Amino acid sequence: MKKLKILLWLGLAMVFLAACAGTPLNNWPGLAATEDTVVLAYGQVHVVDAKTGTEKWKYPEKIDNASLIFSNPAVVDNKIIVASYANVVQALDAQSGAVLWTFDTFKGKGKFVAGPVVAGEVILVPSTDHHLYALDLSGKMLWRFQSRNALWAPAIADEEHVYLAGLDHYLYSIRLADGQKEWEVDLGGPLIHAPGSDGNGRLYMTTLKKEALAIDKQNGNIVWRTPITGSAWAAPVVADGKVVFGTDQKKAYILNAENGQVLASLDVSAGIIGGPVLFDGVPVLVTEGGEVFQMKWDGTRGWTRTIKGQLGSTPVISDGRLVVSGLQMEHLIVTFRPDGTEDWSLTASK
Amino acid sequence: MWDLLIIQPFTNVLLLIYSYLGQNFGVAIILFTLLIRLLTHPLMVSQIKGSQKMMELQNHPRYKELQEKYKNDRQKLQEEQAKLIQELKINPFASCLPLLIQFPIIIGLYQSLYKAMPNTPHDLLSLTRILYSFVDINAILPINNQFLWMDLSQPERLYLPFLPFGIPVLAIVVALTTYVQGKLITPPPSNPNDQTAMMSGMMNLYMPFLMGYMGLTLASGLSLYFIVSNLIGILQYAMLGKVNWKNILPFRKSSGEKPVSPAKSVATSRKGGKKK
């Protein structure tokens, strides 16, 4: 009986280890694109020819669990900028994948859950270590801005300002030149995606408090607030005076950008996690159920395609194709033409 | 089913404690571990009693007689031992069953700790989908993972100004408390050369390394749980008078001790435990 007990304890230890192995850091893949290249960040970075779907290179060659890359990469000046869970930013040569520089001053202090964005000559990367880092194109830190808590959303920027959404409920406006705060506003709930923006001086956000808001870029004043069903997990698309986004409660919305009025909403069969993208002038959304669908401006559905997998990444457009990715897919990437027909797909190499 | 019955309630209770008692995840882990240990205390008592009975059985004169009589006939020995167990009305599974019931609880506790500290939007989405309506994610986010010098969602290192590297304090304490707990709660073997006693000794040696390694590499919130759990475990055994304080001397020559009669050995250990 004593032996049995010892075996039971050993069993417990083994199950414990198995449980540890079964809880890896996990997220939806990040996507970026230029006219001729698609970049996928799914633990490692895959760079793919946008015309043929041929993988050019990947980095690192094998997934490094200590330095996973999931956030959307940025592409600038023939460089691909990636940010990893090790709190390290790297610039890779877009042609060869060679590492051009590494920013690892704050390695291990947090994680880069959100991807880098490039504003002119400045790379902006928010970290879970509560800081937004601004680097120049050679990887040298220009300034860093401290928020109250972890940052999971990419920043957005115009010529002079950076707008940063935090889990701490605050939306910050920061001067691009020196990282000084201009204003901050408590939006009443955690912010997990970047703001949407238009040319009318407004930012559009949703919060986990299940609200959509418009904020004045000049002073942070809240212009309108609209309750929504569920939470949006990715930045809305703003075009033609309308704000488009989907929620985890199986709803897609089109709001009037002027006053927040719901112009149209669409019920879908699964949660929407990725953001919409304008494809051929029409919003396209993806669902966790593997649906890829057009939501026309009048709120009706256009074409719908279903593929295997949980589509949670915001799609990108490259060489006239819609590029989608997600979890538990047969392929790493699937592409579609404007009429909704499937084009090339990328399968993971063994 | 596992998520529904174990992970979901555990995670919700953990976050409920967090939201009502200080909004500090370290405090929530300590209180939650205490709560789970209290709830499973009757199982532990039953397990100890079962073990005690089995130990007494092994020291029973008739059991010894059977071992001697049928030492060359293993099958017959097992049959006769089973009869004796029935006769003495001992449930041979009384010490194992509570342990088996505790397995899912301990694993569930571990997994719910992980669930309650989302590191990525994907993890957070999974969390929001298992929360009961009375837990308001909006009110508890962002979760305060800071406890003392630690970020509970990260492996812990203590950085001192005069050292170029961080000291994994929690991992060391996890290994230490696991070792001490293993030593304190292991009853003295009736025969130290017995294979099971040797296995038990080996386990007491390996487990601290295993747990220490986990403390070194996993989120420090889990290390905190391991430490609190170990300390409460020691306390529970101590309150029941089942702690063998003499065992914590690592190189105690137990095999070199003067042999005593099995019955006397059990009695001595019990008495020693109560005294402390």
How far is A182 from chain B, CA to nearest CA, in Å?
A: 23
Q: What is the largest CA-CA distance in chain A?
A: 76
- Residues of chain A found within 8 Å of residue B95, distances taken between Cβ atoms: 1, 5
Which of B96, B124, B137 minimises the CB distance to A5?
B96
* Residue of higher predicted confidence among A258 and B85: A258
pLDDT in tens, A120-175: 999 999 999 999 999 999 999 999 999 999 999 999 999 999 999 999 999 999 99
Residues of A with CB under 8 A from a CB of B: 1-6, 8-13, 15-17, 19-20, 23, 25-28, 70, 108, 111, 113, 128, 149-150, 152, 167-168, 189-190, 192, 207-209, 231, 233, 248, 271, 273, 312, 327
How far is A113 from chain B, CA to nearest CA, in Å?
A: 7
Q: Is B252 helix (H, G, I), strand (E, B) or coil?
A: coil
pLDDT in tens, B91-118: 777 666 666 776 777 778 778 888 888 8
* Residue of higher predicted confidence among A16 and A81: A81
Tell if the CB–CB gap between B119 and A10 is shorter than 8 Å.
Answer: no
**pLDDT-derived band at B270, boundaries 50, 70, 90:** very low
Q: Ramachandran region of residue A260, left (φ > 0), alpha (ψ -120 to 50) or beta?
A: left
Tell if the CB–CB gap between A13 and B207 is shorter than 8 Å.
Answer: yes
Residue of chain A whose alpha carbon sits nearest to that of B196: A3
**Tokens of residue B192, six digits:** 């130290």
Tell if the CB–CB gap between B141 and A167 is shorter than 8 Å.
Answer: yes
| CA–CA distance, B225 with B10 (Å, rounded to integer) | 14
pLDDT in tens, B115-151: 888 888 999 999 999 999 989 888 888 888 888 888 8
How far is A52 from chain B, CA to nearest CA, in Å?
A: 31
Q: Is the pLDDT of residue B255 over 80?
A: no
CA distances from A202 to A61, A233, A236, A247, B83 (A): 42, 19, 13, 21, 84
- Candidates B119, B126, B135, B151: best to mutate against A (most CBs of A within 10 A) is B119
pLDDT at B142: 86
Domain locations in chain B as residue ranges: 1-144, 145-276
Residue of chain B whose alpha carbon sits nearest to that of A108: B154
Tell if the CB–CB gap between B122 and A231 is shorter than 8 Å.
Answer: no
CA distances from A324 to A81, A254, A273, A329, B90 (A): 20, 21, 13, 10, 63
Q: How many CB atoms are located within 10 Å of the residue A349 CB?
A: 8
pLDDT in tens, B26-49: 999 999 989 988 888 888 887 777
* Residue of higher predicted confidence among B204 and A195: A195
- C-beta pairs of A326-335 under 8 Å, 24+ apart in sequence: A326/A28, A326/A29, A326/A274, A326/A286, A326/A288, A326/A290, A327/A28, A327/A29, A327/B122, A332/A29, A332/A40, A332/A42, A332/A46, A333/A31, A333/A38, A333/A40, A333/A46, A333/A48, A333/A53, A334/A307, A335/A53
Interaxial angle between packed helices B61-69 and B74-87, expressed in degrees from 0 to 180 and rounded to the nearest 10: 160
Alpha-carbon dihedral A323, A327, A329, A331, rounded to 10 degrees: 50
What is the ipTM, given to two decimal places?
0.89
Q: Taking residues B67-76, report their average pLDDT.
A: 83
pLDDT at B271: 40
Which of B107, B142, B207 minimises the CB distance to A150?
B142
Q: Which residues pair with A225 in a beta bridge?
A: A213
Q: How many CA atoms lie within 13 A of B64 on its CB side?
A: 10
Which of B96, B154, B200 minimises the CB distance to A4?
B96
pLDDT at A35: 92
A13-22, A251-260, B92-101, B159-168: which range is least confident on average? A13-22
Q: Is the pLDDT of residue A91 over 90?
A: yes
Closest CA to A114 of A235, A218, A216: A235
